[in-house]
Amino acid sequence: MDNKVLKIILAILIAPIGAYLQVGATKHLWINIVLWIITFGVLGIVHALWLVLTDVKG
């Protein structure tokens, strides 16, 4: 459970790192990086939280 809390915190603060910890270097990470850059972080945070909270695996 502590690991999930850490992932949620990182998904809010630095979305690509939270996404990387959840799925590794997969297409989800690259989608997250693009969303992070294009929307100044907003959709990157939403995407990273979705990855962590739904337990998506790479």
Domain residue spans of the chain: 2-53
pLDDT at position 57, please? 83
Q: In the structure, what pLDDT confidence band is assigned to residue 1 with cuts at 50, 70 and 90? A: low
Residue 56 has pLDDT above 70, yes or no: yes
pLDDT at position 2, please? 63
User: pLDDT, tens digit, for every residue of 13-31?
Assistant: 999 999 999 999 999 999 9
Count CB-CB contacts under 10 A for residue 45. 20
- The region, left, alpha or beta by phi > 0 then psi within -120 to 50, assigned to residue 14 is beta
Write down the H helix ranges in 1-58. 2-13, 15-23, 27-38, 42-53
